[in-house]
Chain A
């Protein structure tokens, strides 16, 4: 399952990445931070429209595999309550050489975070909570369907 309400088993996911043609395997893990914008985070609650999110993640992975010639690409996102330090999302990519695995991995996690119908509610230590930190790319692109994946400060990843 790409979207699940149970802890993500990274080792199990990673086991599938080994391939005679893969000289590089990249694993990204998105974890729950205990602080956001100066506020202490108690826990997060992720919600998703599971059928739509699963379908979209499948499309994103499939497109990335083709674009970068990956030997392996998989992603899982957790929903429900996550405590600080828990793993919220994992993306693993494998390819012949590291450049493709890194680039594809970055592309996949960016698209999942900006496009997949998965939402995060932050619950703070002070008892408050808010659905926040959502995608606001439209403020830059002027179009709710266009997202910003190119960050000059982060290196030369292709804009989509």
Chain B
């Protein structure tokens, strides 16, 4: 599974990387990401997730070799 992260998340992860293990859903992905860098916990809690087709919710089941986009909070203001 390929992971793309943006903005402040790049202070905790490479912009693009691959997870060796396949994960089934967002909760499992969050756990994997926290295992890589637990300091990202607070920001990850605020993130949305998307695949190429668009944003996904917690019920979404990842497909094999899917690219997942981790979307931190928008610029706001």
A134 in the interface (beta carbon within 8 A)? yes
Contact yes or no, B54 A134, CB < 8 A: no
Contact yes or no, B75 A134, CB < 8 A: yes
Given known contacts A49-B6, A52-B50, is B76 in contact with A113 (CB within 8 Å)? yes
Q: Main SS of the interface on chain A?
A: mixed
Given known contacts A144-B46, A144-B48, is B77 in contact with A117 (CB within 8 Å)? no
B residues within 8 A CB of A136?
Answer: 73, 76
Interface size class for chain A?
Answer: 20 to 34
Contact yes or no, B6 A133, CB < 8 A: no
B residues bordering A, Cβ < 8 Å? 4, 6-8, 11, 45-46, 48, 50, 52, 54-55, 69, 71-77
A residues bordering B, Cβ < 8 Å? 30, 46-47, 49, 51-52, 55, 113-121, 131, 133-138, 144-145
